[in-house]
Structure 1
Amino acid sequence: MTAASRPVALITGATRGIGRAIASELARTHHVIIGGRSRAAVDAVVAELGDASAFVADLAELSSIADRAAMLPELDVLVHSAGLIGPHEPIAEVNVDDLLQVFTVNVAAVHELTRITLPGLRARSGSVITINSGSGFTSHPNSSVYSASKFALRAWSDALRDEERAHGVRVTSIHPGRVATDMQQELRAMEGGEYREDDYLTPAAVAQAVRLAVETPRGGNIDELQIRPQ
């Protein structure tokens, strides 16, 4: 990959749901790098958006992140949108391997991809945006694994923000409420509840929150943003 003439934004989990909406929104002003596990799905989005390129990696395999990220250009924006829900079970029934898988994707992969791309982000005075959740503030029965990973991601984002102020890198943690996505349908099925699309945020609303963070004039930073269904 080579740096494009426009600002460069990498979005993980960009082949569907929130990540896909963010990619479409940022593609209006940025060269977007589409992150995803499936080569076919990534290539389809790249072809649709035009000024885009591919970042195919399984975030559950940390070694593959290191191999692929070394080929990335310097980034102006890094959006961590990929994530796993994990088991929807009481703590007494959660398998530790399932817990570790969720923490690998939701926390460790975020750390590793940011760590590797941070020199370029510093050079471009870039932005790191983590797509968190309302579960990053409040946990509920049967959601211990997902909530714990999002609490951890919030703490990690807070630390990165303070560490990188002196380097000119801005860090924003975005906490959507429930969003109308495939993941939401999966969650509602786990909960045994009805999925009604109109009850939830649109992915485009979250993408607009990302746009707000990216376009905040220099000298200011949106540290944390919560957006909920109206």
Structure 2
Amino acid sequence: MMIDAAVVTGASSGIGRAVAVALGPHAKQLVLIGRDPARLADAAAATHNGAATVLTTDLADPDAVPVLGHHLADLLGGVDVLVHSAGDYASGEVPDTDAATFDHLYAVNVRAPYELTRELLPHLRARHGDVIFMNSTQGLAAYPGVSQYAATKHALTAVADSLRGEVNAAGVRVTTLHLGRTATPMQERIHAAAHRPYRAADLVQPQDVADVVLSVLALPRRTQVNSVTIWPTHP
């Protein structure tokens, strides 16, 4: 499998970093997007030949996303794979969580991937590309105490499902990965806030998710995986 150009958001750590490293040997051009330049540089160094391009962007800034989309189009000339791994998390019951928290989660978890996909869609259509959304099992069923986060993940599921119906005829595939607890820095913070022991080895590993991404991309173009749910064996 060879990919001309791939873009991964949230690539500085966790799932995004693992996906970027896994794509490295298969991508002629690979762009890693995140907020932390040092961690992005470290992720780029870990990719095949260390040849990835890094772009530091805060996806919570709505004005930054269209600029990023235009820059990517100019930089790459086309996009074959767009992986949305960036995201943020917050918990709290409805009476205790203000609308500003909800707005921030919406900006990062829904608006940014929506807008970046929209900006790059002409290039994905031209290349018969793939769009992969990293989602959560909270995007399938919401638990108490995470209504704001789960609402954004449900919304992201809706974006992906609607987009799929719009672009499949143009040869663009759209896949959502609904992830259960995965061993990432974010998950470690979630465990700490809940005063639960964090046993990374018992969770889904970022590399497991990256392996699924490669499997989805390697399928013949006649075949599409709409969604995958990945749980730890011992949740």
TM-score (norm 1): 0.94
Asked whether 1:13 is paired with 2:17, we answer no
In structure 2, what is the Cα distance between the partners aligned to 1:160 and 1:6? 22
Contiguous gaps of at least 5 residues in structure 2: none
- Partner Cα separation in structure 2 for residue 164 and residue 191 of structure 1: 41
* Structure 1 gaps, min length 5: none
Instruction: Tell me whether 1:97 sits opposite 2:100 in the alignment.
Output: yes
Distance 2:215 2:104 in 1: 31
Residue 43 of structure 1: CA displacement?
Answer: 2.5
> In the alignment, which residue of structure 1 is the partner of 2:124?
121
Give the alignment of 1:156-167 within 5 angstroms: 156-167=159-170
Structure 2: distance between partners of 1:101 and 1:43: 26
**2: CA distance, partners of 1:166 / 1:55:** 31
Instruction: Tell me the residue number matched to 2:22.
Output: 25
SS of residue matched to 2:125: helix
C-alpha deviations, 1:147-185, integer Å up to 9, x for none? 111111001100000000121110000111110111111
Displacement of 1:142: 0.8
Q: Tell me which residue corresponds to 1:54.
A: 54
Distance in 2, matches of 1:191 and 1:64, equals 33
Aligned equivalent of 1:223: 226
| Counterpart code for 2:100 | D
Number of aligned residue pairs: give it: 225
Alpha-carbon distance between aligned partners in 2 of 1:125 and 1:175, rounded to the nearest angstrom: 23
Cα deviations across residues 119-172 of structure 1 (Å, max 9, x unaligned)? 111111000000001111111111111111111100110000000012111000
Task: After the TM superposition, list the runs of 4 or more consecutive aligned residues in structure 1 that deviate by more than 4 angstroms.
Answer: none
Identity %: 38
Residue number among 77, 88, 91 corresponding to 2:81 in the alignment: 77
Give, in angstroms, the shift of residue 189 of structure 1: 1.5
Q: Matched residue of 1:132: which SS?
A: strand
* Structure 1 range deviating more: 161-170 or 67-76: 67-76
Structure 2 CA distance for partners of 1:6 and 1:126, relative to 1, 3 Å: closer
* 1:34 matched to 2:38: no
Which residue in 2 is equivalent to 1:206?
209
Q: Distance in 1 between matches of 2:55 and 2:121?
A: 17
SS of the aligned residue for 2:154 comes to helix
Give yes or no for the alignment of 1:172 onto 2:170: no
Match of 2:112 among 109, 112, 119: 109
Q: Which amino acid aligns with 2:26?
A: T
- Give the drift of 1:55: 2.1
Normalization by structure 2: what TM-score?
0.92
